C-alpha cells in the first residue's frame, strides 16, 4: 500500500504531493516549494523517510505548481514530466513570476512528455493520466484506481473548480473535462486538489455548485 504526504507551499498555498512506494521510492507531484525554509522542510522529510525520488510530475505548469522544479532537478537529477500542451505555459513562467513580484528559475524542460490515458508506474504505484484541459491548456489528473484517489491539480476543488481566466483557460472546456474524466469515477474516490482540503467524487457530485 502506498503512502501520500502532502505539503502546502508558497504564497499561493499550493499542495505538493509525495507518493511513496513500499520500497521507499517516490513520485513528486507539483513541487511548489518556494523559499529556503520550504525547500528544507521538503528535504528533511525525504531524508528522514529515506525516500528515493524517481519521477517529477507536473499536473500543469502554472507558477505555483513548478516553483520547486529547478530545486528537485538540482537535488535529485529529475527532469519534469508533463503534457506537451503545457510547454508554452512552462516557458512563460519566469516572465509571469515577475508580474507577481516573485522570482523563479524554471529548471530544465522535459525529455519526455506525458500522454493522456497512459500510466505512470513506480513499483506498485500505477497512475492513469486523465486529460482535463480548461483550467490550463493541457492539465492532467493522476488516478490511482487501486488506492482509490485522484490527484486533480487545479481542475476540481472541494465545492469549487479551477479558475478559467488565465491563458489557456476556458470555462466550458473545464466543465466538460470534469464531467468526462472525473465524475464517472466512484463516489468513494478521494480527490487531492492543488489547493485546499481533500474531498471525494461523491461529495462533489452532490455539493459542488458548478457541476451538481
Ligand atoms: Zn493552476
Task: Write out pLDDT tens, residues 83-142.
Answer: 999 999 999 999 999 999 998 988 999 999 999 999 999 999 999 999 999 999 999 999
- Do 74 and 90 touch, CB atoms closer than 8 A? no
In a domain, 197, yes or no: yes
The rounded Å distance from CA 162 to ligand 1 centre is 7
In a domain, 55, yes or no: yes
In a domain, 178, yes or no: yes
Give tens-digit pLDDT for 145-181.
999 999 999 999 999 999 999 988 999 999 999 999 9
Q: What is the pTM of this model?
A: 0.97
The rounded Å distance from CA 65 to ligand 1 centre is 7
Average of pLDDT values for 43-72? 97
User: How many domains does the chain divide into?
Assistant: 1
In a domain, 212, yes or no: no
Pairing relationship of beta strands 149-153 and 160-161 according to DSSP bridges = unpaired
CATH number at residue 146: 3.60.15.10
Please give the pLDDT value at position 1.
62
- Do 61 and 4 touch, CB atoms closer than 8 A? no
Q: Please, which pLDDT band fits residue 38 given cuts at 50, 70 and 90?
A: very high
The rounded Å distance from CA 136 to ligand 1 centre is 7
In a domain, 19, yes or no: yes
Q: Which residues, at least 6 apart from 103, have a Cβ–Cβ distance to it below 8 Å?
A: 97
Its domain, for residue 200, covers 3-207
In a domain, 61, yes or no: yes
The rounded Å distance from CA 58 to ligand 1 centre is 10
In a domain, 73, yes or no: yes
For 83, phi then psi, to 5°, come to -75, 140
- Do 179 and 186 touch, CB atoms closer than 8 A? no
Amino acid at each position: 500500500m502506498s503512502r501520500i504526504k502532502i505539503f502546502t507551499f508558497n504564497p499561493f498555498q499550493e499542495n505538493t504531493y509525495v507518493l511513496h512506494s513500499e520500497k521507499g521510492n517516490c513520485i513528486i507531484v507539483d513541487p511548489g516549494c518556494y523559499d529556503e525554509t520550504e525547500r528544507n522542510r521538503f528535504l528533511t522529510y525525504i531524508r528522514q523517510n529515506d525516500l528515493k525520488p524517481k519521477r517529477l510530475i507536473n499536473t500543469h505548469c502554472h507558477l505555483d505548481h513548478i516553483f520547486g522544479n529547478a530545486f528537485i532537478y538540482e537535488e535529485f537529477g529529475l527532469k519534469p514530466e508533463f503534457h506537451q500542451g503545457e510547454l508554452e505555459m512552462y516557458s512563460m513562467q519566469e516572465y509571469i513570476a515577475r508580474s507577481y513580484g516573485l522570482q523563479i528559475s524554471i529548471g530544465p524542460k522535459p525529455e519526455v512528455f506525458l500522454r493522456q490515458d497512459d500510466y505512470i508506474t513506480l513499483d506498485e504505484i500505477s497512475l492513469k493520466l486523465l486529460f482535463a484541459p480548461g483550467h490550463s491548456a493541457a492539465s492532467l489528473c493522476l488516478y490511482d484506481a487501486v488506492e482509490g484517489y485522484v490527484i486533480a491539480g487545479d481542475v476540481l476543488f472541494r465545492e469549487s473548480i479551477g479558475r478559467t481566466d488565465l491563458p489557456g483557460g476556458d470555462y466550458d472546456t473545464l466543465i466538460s473535462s470534469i464531467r468526462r474524466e472525473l465524475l464517472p469515477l466512484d463516489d468513494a474516490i478521494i480527490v487531492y486538489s492543488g489547493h485546499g482540503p481533500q474531498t471525494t467524487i461523491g461529495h462533489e457530485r452532490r455539493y459542488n455548485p458548478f457541476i451538481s
